[in-house]
Amino acid sequence: MTRTLGIGLAGLGRMGRIHATNLTSRCGAARLAAVYDANADVARALAEELEVPWAASYAELLERADAVAIATPTGTHAELTAAAAEAGRHVFCEKPISLDRPTTVETIEAVQRAGVVFQVGFHRRFDPDWVAAAARIHAGELGEVTLFRTSLRDMTPPPPEFLAGSGGFFVDVTVHDLDVARWLVGEVVEVTAHGTASDPAFAAIGDIDTAVVVLRFENGALGVIDNSRSARYGYECSSEVMGSAAIARIDAPRRHGYEWRTPGLASHELPRDFEERYPWAYAEELDAFARCVRDGAPPRVSGVDALAAFDLAQAADRSWRTGRPVALTPQRTETGVRYETTEKDEVRV
């Protein structure tokens, strides 16, 4: 019988609880070895609920596990990842790796030096709908890709404590769509972004809650991303990739398999959040991580992929602040694609 990977989970908030549930109920190759949170009461309570051990310190969590999953606030990821790598533990880390580029690069180098598996939490790459569409796109069934459109809209915004340490709208939200853009279409050579705070609470912290990002791809395709922190009607995560031979469309699915019909009207419920939309994607990303550790295979989303998405998100942030397009040069390296950015002097007309 194959041994499952014992994962120690750090950070038991919104995202950590999803990983905890998946590791105890949906995953086949990984199991929950122990939980840890800076708030010991939170860790103790979840450990009792799930009947798993809890650790009183991060060092104890590392001792109890073969690998860690880090779902703490973004500003803490780098330090926890480096400590785990130094202790020889494989690392699954939520997106993004850190709040700044130098720390992100240092963290990638730390895991490379340690020789551990390092996967970053871009869950759509593991969702059955997105994976099926990607397989056909990569097989060339779309023909020449001309247009990419994606929408990521939260029904309600996260709490203010989370927003304060999120890294800002583009690094926290748009980063998912930027990773998908690279995955489905290819490398990006120009980013232009517009943003606004429809809720003054976002303006008060120097952030936005609504944005449109326009991409120009290396292969000539165009892309448009729209994002919202509070779409109100439901959680939407949808995309279209248009090619010369077909269009791939990934839509927001229904919350339930039933519909309520009254004369002339059929209505159904929508998913409320990412947990309802992606139960299997979040489970599969941890299972895939465990299989990489078991088989010695590279992860589907590497640290260098996460750096590329981060660089594109920062380019969007810069474009929003300056009102100018940002040009990017994708460089192919042995470990993956790295971006160099330059701000365009003139606004494109």
Ligand X SMILES: NC(=O)c1ccc[n+]([C@@H]2O[C@H](COP(=O)([O-])OP(=O)(O)OC[C@H]3O[C@@H](n4cnc5c(N)ncnc54)[C@H](O)[C@@H]3O)[C@@H](O)[C@H]2O)c1
Interface mask (CB under 6 A) for ligand X, residues 9-28, using x and -? -xxxxxxx------------
Pick between residue 69 and residue 221 the one whose CB is nearest to ligand X.
69
Chain CA centroid to CA 298, Å = 18
Least distance from ligand X to the Cβ atom of residue 343, Å? 26
Pick between residue 60 and residue 226 the one whose CB is nearest to ligand X.
60
Chain CA centroid to CA 245, Å = 29
Least distance from ligand X to the Cβ atom of residue 4, Å? 22
Pick between residue 70 and residue 188 the one whose CB is nearest to ligand X.
70
Q: Does 95 bind ligand X (CB under 6 A)?
A: yes
Stretch touching ligand X by CB under 6 A, among 6-14, 128-136, 189-197, 242-250: 6-14
Distance spanning both ends of the chain, measured CA to CA: 63
Interface mask (CB under 6 A) for ligand X, residues 315-344, using x and -? ------------------------------
| Site for ligand X, residues 152 to 191, rule: CB under 6 A | 158, 162, 172
Spatial separation of the C-alpha atoms in residues 98 and 79, rounded to whole Å: 9
Pick between residue 56 and residue 247 the one whose CB is nearest to ligand X.
56
Least distance from ligand X to the Cβ atom of residue 175, Å? 9
Pick between residue 255 and residue 344 the one whose CB is nearest to ligand X.
255
3-state secondary structure of 189: strand
C-alpha count within 13 angstroms, C-beta hemisphere, residue 216? 11
Beta bridge partners of 151: 226, 238
**Positive or negative torsion for Cα 4, 78, 122, 116:** negative
Pick between residue 145 and residue 283 the one whose CB is nearest to ligand X.
283
Pick between residue 71 and residue 241 the one whose CB is nearest to ligand X.
71
φ, ψ (nearest 5 deg) of residue 61: -60, -45
Of the candidate residues 39, 196, 219, 329, the single one contacting ligand X (CB under 6 A): 39
| Site for ligand X, residues 273 to 312, rule: CB under 6 A | 274
Eight-state DSSP code of residue 54:
B
Strand order in the sheet with 222-228: 247-250, 236-243, 145-153, 222-228, 210-217, 188-196, 326-333, 336-343
Pairing of strands 90-93, 260-262: unpaired
Pick between residue 158 and residue 253 the one whose CB is nearest to ligand X.
158
Stretch touching ligand X by CB under 6 A, among 37-45, 219-227, 250-258, 322-330: 37-45
Chain CA centroid to CA 182, Å = 13
Of the candidate residues 5, 33, 35, 37, the single one contacting ligand X (CB under 6 A): 37
Pick between residue 100 and residue 218 the one whose CB is nearest to ligand X.
100
Stretch touching ligand X by CB under 6 A, among 36-44, 130-138, 305-313, 337-345: 36-44
CB 316 within 8 A of CB 174: yes
Pick between residue 162 and residue 280 the one whose CB is nearest to ligand X.
162
Stretch touching ligand X by CB under 6 A, among 23-31, 46-54, 72-80, 260-268: 72-80
Stretch touching ligand X by CB under 6 A, among 34-42, 107-115, 220-228, 234-242: 34-42
Spatial separation of the C-alpha atoms in residues 77 and 57, rounded to whole Å: 15
Residue holding tokens 């929508």? 270
Closest-CA residue to 121 (of 190, 172, 191): 172
Closest-CA residue to 32 (of 61, 75, 2): 61
Spatial separation of the C-alpha atoms in residues 215 and 192, rounded to whole Å: 7
Spatial separation of the C-alpha atoms in residues 294 and 45, rounded to whole Å: 31
Could you give the residue ranges of the DSSP H alpha helices within 124-238? Answer: 128-138, 160-164, 169, 175-184, 200-204
Q: Does 216 bind ligand X (CB under 6 A)?
A: no
* # binding residues, ligand X (CB under 6 A): 25
Q: Does 103 bind ligand X (CB under 6 A)?
A: no
* Residues in touch with ligand X (CB under 6 A): 10-16, 36-39, 42, 71-74, 76, 94-95, 121, 123, 158, 162, 172, 274
